Chains A and B, each alone.
Chain A
Amino acid sequence: MASVGTSFRRKEGPEKLTGEATYIDDYRLEGALHGVTLRSKVARGILREIRFDPAFDWSSVVVATAADIPGENAVLLIEKDQPLLASRELNHLEEPILILGHSNRAKAYEALEHIEVVCDEEEPVLTMEEALADGAVFKRFEIVKGDLDAGFRDADVIVEEEYRVPHQEQAYIETNGVAAWEEEDGTLVVTGSMQCPYYVHKAMLGLFPRAPEKIRVIQTTTGGGFGGKEEYPNLIAGHAAVLSLKAKRPVKIVYDRAEDMRATTKRHPARIRHRTGVKKDGTLVAQDIDVLMDGGAYVTLSPVVLSRGILHATGPYECPNVRVVGRVVKTNTPPNGAFRGFGAPQTLFAAEMHVEKIAARLGLDALVVRRKNLFREGSVTATGQVLKESVGAKEVLDRTVAASRYLPRKKECERWNRRKSAPSWRGVGLAAVFHGAGFTGSGEVYLQSRATVSLLPNGDIEVEAASTEIGQGTTSILASIVADALEVPYDWIRVSTPDTARVPNSGPTVASRTCMIVGGLLKRSADELRRALEREGVDWPPKPSSLKRAARKLCANGRPFGFVQEYERPREIRWDDATYRGDAYGVYGYAAMVVELEIDKVTYEVTVKDVVTAQDVGRAINPLLVEGQIVGGTAQALGYALLENVIFDKGVMANANFTNYVIPTTLDTPPMRVEIVERPYSLGPFGAKGVGELPMDVPAPAVAAAIHQATGLFLTELPLLPERISKAMHDRAHRQS
């Protein structure tokens, strides 16, 4: 029975339900030291001296500093500007300076209190605007289409606005944790909570030079990532490893919640400016967009976040004349990094709110403006990409509008709001988004991803890929794709642990690429395996006994008989990095959402009453898992919109705990109605595109639009806290009186 398209059970489900699944902190390491990190207490300065209190007993403590790094003191991602351990320059609060270890965790933390760091403090740059004034730009991109000036001349109305979005903390419930040790044969083993074992592998090679097979990275069961464990593990892994090599003992580092929130990456804050020319009927004729992002103190992945941000900055709309300028700047704050959506939630919030603003200016419903400009097959994007297939934009919009009864509900809310005695204001808000699946432009080619399907000596079939299960269902989805390609039961397929000693580099588990790209590779590998087995005389579909027989013959010396596929850029996808023109992504997912909410007149608290959404994922390999991604991503985005406020004080997060950084509970999250739309992608396995990030892009502007309808307030900054709603109302009343 085919599994694709059914809600097959999660492969690792049972262990997660019984406590048998082992996360990094569940592992007992014989003779291990607990590693803790000494961090900078200044946002910017020059390190002069590290003083160890002579009155403290250091005999059981091992310390590793920059001097102990055998290779280059750089955490490789794109650039090499971020040191593993600071040796001279201090560029942000919480910057790691040294790692120390003790067999007792409390004593390790106590030892930290007995180290004094002497430095010359310097004036830090803490805002994007300051950084821009200083010219501290990590990267600048520009997208140009058509003739912007001509477009503005052609416009009936020009609408301008500035939008701001803050940091957001991933708040995975399992904090960052990694363990490292060196085996007797000189293999450096690194294991822990991570999304990208091969990123870690590459970073470790630079820090601890040795033959590639002498570094082994193994992902443990990971309690949530959302991008927060995409690049950050490179740093914590390096820390565990450098101390382990110094101590000649295993080292485990597990952050507590406060350290994790203060020191690790967050979503890039952004300021997005729109200047848009439209015709009276809502047709877009000119979009001039400026995107400014705060990268924090080091480059890390900021250029890629900025890239995705600007590639989504127009919204899912066709406009003949476009200019998008994007810059990401350096501030003396902890580096920002990947978080589900990766630049798109930021710019799509602005794009969608701007549609709302345009509509209000023109006296049209925002739905009308959307319908006028929405992408369809044949549309040309800002980079000149022709959307040839799998464009579910209109379908998701239509189905969302119908299922939510958007227009009648809007009228009902208007009637409600006219009643002076009503205890609340009510509003309905709509948003529509798109999200490119896979890496941008040449990214997938650059990755050279490889994945394998093997027949094992015992007759089992195994998937070997570096793609990690972090809750989204990787293991199950990949198994399902391979099972159906081979026409065997889902239960017959095993998925290897992402262990660099066992699996090829199928690239990072990010960018909504796992199902589409890696699944695609595995489907081809499976096809090759099948052909080879059929050539060996195996009748298809096979019985377990015939696979066992074939394995006895083909798995010589007990080694798996497998086929690896390497990514080849489809001929149809053309991209020019230099001009930023062409096919930015192979295909896009589309989503629309209607949010209905209520604002209490006494407290200004916002309660989301209903969420209706339709999302085009190409093909739902497992509808239950797809729904899980949509509901989960929506909850995170509702947090982004309404609750999650990263408060920075002098360059570091001041509310670094769950008490004061509030994420949604069961009572903050409404029930949601999800419709899965399938517009198959010809190059995706069984038609699948991506789903991991798309849900993150659409809720925040839908919420802001609903607040707009409820109160008449057009709020341009997240989160939409009751304090801000209250203040905006008062400011408006003041202006009017």
Chain B
Amino acid sequence: MRGDPGSMTLLRPRSVEEALGLYAANPGAVPLAGGTDFMVAWNAGEANGRTILDLSRLGAWKRIAVTATGVRVGSLVTHRELQLHPLVRRRLPLLAEACGTIGGHQIQARGTLGGNIANASPAGDTFPPLAVYEARVRLRSAGESRTLPFLEVFTGVKKTALADGELIDSIEIDFPRRPARESFRKVGTRAASAIAKTVAAGLLWLSSDRRIREVRFALGSMAPTVRRLGSVEALLAGKRPTPRLVEEAADLLEIDVSPIDDLRSTRAYRLEVSRNLLRAFLSPGLTR
């Protein structure tokens, strides 16, 4: 353990306004939510001497509020709280399921949705569900607030569009109308407590004549940021899901992502499995 507690400066605001004010005055500070990402780097000695903006006392951001159209999840709501919330389980099941696959119980009890988004890992397990649910992320700074569509938050590996002094306030998610099919699947390095090699979420609606009215499919760990498969979605819209169409879609998948070889997996495997996940989603009875 190489962290040096004595070297750290800790700012501990008691309210959101105070936090935003402190952050504006200390733009180099590291906002700290549950700590499940940052503390790993700190333990390795990579963040000694930094100023920390501890958000853990901001109760206003720890609530899940029900809105007219869905929920507003405070940025400091933990993954455990999300997966246990009855409304989230019923109306946003892919998100609830994803929360249950992050690390083990201990990580889920501390890791927050906002912290996870701000960390912007390419492998964020909740990101594909949030992408297909078309969440909106509300940002606040000392002077302003704005809302970004979920996908616009991420600009690169561990990079976000948050401006100086901006913190994530909440994540708004509208309940989708009941889909004909919904699926979440994470392919990890082992059965539990694993980083995703690829992680997928899909929603599909059919029209009365059994054509695909709309499909949304997102993949994580397949590019620097989570990706919606725009080309695939466009191809499928309005068509009947025949085996040949499914194959076309699987072939097209490659256009919307850019997987790599890394310590956890290979480009070839990630592509193959993602294609299989898409196939399985589009034709549930059909396997190879």
Category for how many chain B residues contact A: 35 or more
Which of A110, A601, A655, A659 is the one whose CB lies under 8 Å from B276?
A601
Residues of A within 8 A of B187 (CB): 603, 605
Q: Is the CB of B67 closer than 8 A to any CB of chain A?
A: no
Which of A105, A258, A655, A665 is the one whose CB lies under 8 Å from B191?
A665
Q: Is the CB of B95 closer than 8 A to any CB of chain A?
A: no
Q: Taking the nearest CB of chain A, how far is it from the CB of B145, in angstroms?
A: 35
Question: In the bound complex, what is the Cα–Cα distance between A659 and B269 (angstroms)?
Answer: 20
Residues of A within 8 A of B43 (CB): 256
Contact A110 B4 (CB under 8 A): yes
Contact B1 A107 (CB under 8 A): no
Interface pick from A8-16, A699-707, A720-728: A720-728
Question: In the bound complex, what is the Cα–Cα distance between A420 and B288 (angstroms)?
Answer: 7
Residues of B within 8 A of A105 (CB): 1-2
Contact B269 A665 (CB under 8 A): no
Contact B48 A110 (CB under 8 A): yes
Q: Taking the nearest CB of chain A, how far is it from the CB of B44, in angstroms?
A: 7
Contact A665 B2 (CB under 8 A): no
Contact B48 A667 (CB under 8 A): no
Contact B269 A726 (CB under 8 A): yes
Which of B4, B48, B263 is the one whose CB lies under 8 Å from A660?
B263
Chain A residue at smallest Cβ distance from B49: A110
Q: Is the CB of B25 closer than 8 A to any CB of chain A?
A: no
Q: Taking the nearest CB of chain B, how far is it from the CB of A643, in angstroms?
A: 6
Q: Taking the nearest CB of chain B, how far is it from the CB of A36, in angstroms?
A: 9
Contact B264 A602 (CB under 8 A): no
Q: Taking the nearest CB of chain B, how far is it from the CB of A710, in angstroms?
A: 14
Which of A655, A662, A722 is the one whose CB lies under 8 Å from B269?
A722
Question: In the bound complex, what is the Cα–Cα distance between A139 and B279 (angstroms)?
Answer: 54
Chain B residue at smallest Cβ distance from A258: B44
Residues of A within 8 A of B4 (CB): 104, 106-107, 110
Q: Is the CB of B265 closer than 8 A to any CB of chain A?
A: yes
Q: Is the interface of A mostly helix, strand, loop or mixed?
A: loop
Question: In the bound complex, what is the Cα–Cα distance between A152 and B6 (angstroms)?
Answer: 72
Contact B195 A659 (CB under 8 A): yes
Chain A residue at smallest Cβ distance from B264: A660
Q: Taking the nearest CB of chain B, how far is it from the CB of A252, in angstroms?
A: 13
Contact A602 B280 (CB under 8 A): yes
Question: In the bound complex, what is the Cα–Cα distance between A605 and B4 (angstroms)?
Answer: 41
Contact A106 B263 (CB under 8 A): no
Which of B48, B185, B286 is the one whose CB lies under 8 Å from A106?
B48
0 or 1 for each of B264-285: is its CB under 8 Å from A? (1 = yes): 1110110011001101100001
Q: Is the CB of A385 closer than 8 A to any CB of chain B?
A: no
Contact A647 B273 (CB under 8 A): no
A597-644 at interface with B (beta carbon < 8 Å): 601-605, 607, 643
Chain A residue at smallest Cβ distance from B272: A726
Contact A668 B276 (CB under 8 A): no
Question: In the bound complex, what is the Cα–Cα distance between A727 and B2 (angstroms)?
Answer: 40
Question: In the bound complex, what is the Cα–Cα distance between A654 and B264 (angstroms)?
Answer: 11
Contact B273 A602 (CB under 8 A): yes
A233-274 at interface with B (beta carbon < 8 Å): 256, 258
Question: In the bound complex, what is the Cα–Cα distance between A454 and B73 (angstroms)?
Answer: 68
Contact A662 B194 (CB under 8 A): yes
Chain B residue at smallest Cβ distance from A723: B269
Residues of A within 8 A of B194 (CB): 662
Question: In the bound complex, what is the Cα–Cα distance between A727 and B6 (angstroms)?
Answer: 50
Question: In the bound complex, what is the Cα–Cα distance between A647 and B266 (angstroms)?
Answer: 13
Q: Taking the nearest CB of chain A, how far is it from the CB of B173, in angstroms?
A: 27
Contact A654 B189 (CB under 8 A): no
B-binding residues in A (CB < 8 A): 104-107, 109-110, 256, 258, 420-423, 601-605, 607, 643, 647, 654-655, 659-660, 662, 664-668, 722-723, 726-727, 730
Beyond A106-B4, A730-B272, 12 additional contacts (C-beta under 8 Å) are: A105-B1, A106-B7, A256-B2, A420-B288, A602-B277, A605-B187, A647-B263, A662-B189, A662-B190, A668-B192, A723-B268, A726-B272
Q: 22 pairs across A/B with beta carbons < 8 Å?
A: A106-B2, A106-B5, A106-B6, A109-B45, A256-B1, A420-B287, A420-B288, A601-B287, A601-B288, A602-B276, A602-B280, A603-B277, A604-B269, A607-B191, A659-B40, A660-B189, A660-B264, A723-B265, A723-B266, A726-B269, A727-B266, A730-B272
